[in-house]
Amino acid sequence: MADKYQNKYRIPSARLSTWDYSSNAAYFITLCTAKRQHYFGKIINGEMQLSNIGEKAHECWMNIPNHFQFVLLDAFVVMPNHMHGIIIIDKPVNDGGVVETGHALSLQGETKRPAEQQSQSDMLQSKQPHPRFRNQGKNTISAMVGSFKSAVTKWCNENKLPFGWQSRFHDHIIRDNDEFHRIRNYILNNPANWNNDKFFSLP
């Protein structure tokens, strides 16, 4: 996936208040739990050990491309009290340079994922798939994140597990290939660097 990025989505300086968050780009997303509670598991010897809620969050994140068209996932990690991930919107462009559009929830099948994610995702294959994400009508980053958060929260409520999200999330438009690789490496190395992480806290 990282090889495909190249400099395809180099983003010029822009007023983010006018940015179309359904536009082709790579987006670095960070979400935190409410009060940064350790709902997702714990770090042992530099590796993340997922709780049941952490497994569900991992599963729901992997399913985002199944519910939003032209969406690819690259590196992501579920940490004890937060998670990071790269979402790529990659709509096809016709010969005239115009981005073609389609139905926002019609994508079928799985996307390829980084080799580093295979071990965690493979152990989830035996799990039942989560309910379909809510159709929010737009193929935007906010819609994707909102649907993902709702799916995790709904599952926790159904299983009577205490859980909550921080109300907002942080997004960053990745501007070039070098930044893409820096962020990707940060995500993949996050568990090993947990003690130095800005979100670090004791359970």
Q: Are 107 and 70 in contact (CB under 8 A)?
A: yes
**Which residue is it, tokens 């159904």?**
158
Q: Are 29 and 171 in contact (CB under 8 A)?
A: yes
Which residues, including other chains, have CB under 8 Å from residue 194's CB and lie 6 or more apart?
43, 46, 79, 80, 200
Token pair for residue 173? Answer: 């438009």
Q: Are 147 and 134 in contact (CB under 8 A)?
A: yes
pLDDT in tens, the chain (203 residues): 445 555 566 555 444 567 889 999 999 999 999 999 999 999 999 999 999 999 999 999 999 999 999 999 999 999 999 999 999 999 987 655 555 433 222 222 333 344 333 333 333 333 333 333 444 347 899 999 999 999 999 999 999 999 999 999 999 999 999 999 999 999 999 999 999 999 999 88
Burial string for 113-127 (b: 16+ CB within 10 Å, else e) reads bbeebeebeeeeeee
Instruction: Supply the pLDDT for residue 50.
Output: 98
**CATH fold of 21-194, please?**
Alpha-Beta Plaits (3.30.70)
What is the model's pTM?
0.75
